[in-house]
Amino acid sequence: MLAQAEAGTAAVYFADAAHPTHNTRATHVWTATGQQRPMLTVSGRERVNLNAALNAVVATEPYLDETDCVNAQSTRRLYEQLLEAHP
C-alpha cells in the first residue's frame, strides 16, 4: 500500500486522537533561585478533543476534527473529510 501511495495511486494516512489539557502546567522551569517567573494561563481546565489524520507519504496539512467527544461519530466525520479529499 505504501508503494502505491508513493506512486500516487493510493493515499495512506496516519490517524490518531489526542486529548490535550487546555491549560498550562509548569513542571520544570529555568529561572534564578528565589526569582518568580510569570506564566500566562487560560481560564478553566477544559480538555480539547482532537481527531486528526496526516498523509503518510507527503506531510501535508493534517485533516482535523475538533469535537466534544472522540467517538465513532467524530471518527466518521474525519474519514468523510479524507474521502472527500480522495474520491
pLDDT tens for 17-67 read: 988 776 666 666 677 777 877 766 666 666 788 899 999 888 877 899 998
CB 49 within 8 A of CB 69: yes
Of residues 27 and 82, the one with the higher pLDDT is: 82
Helix (H/G/I), strand (E/B), else coil: 48? coil
More confident residue, 8 or 16: 16
What's the one-letter identity of residue 50?
Answer: L
What the block records as the C-alpha cell of 50 is: 482532537
- The string of pLDDT tens digits covering residues 35-48 is 877 766 666 666 78
Q: Residue 42: what residue type?
A: V
In the chain, domain spans: 1-18+49-87
pTM across the whole model: 0.65
**Sorting pLDDT into bands at 50, 70 and 90, what band is 78?**
very high
CA separation for the pair 3, 57 (Å, rounded):
10
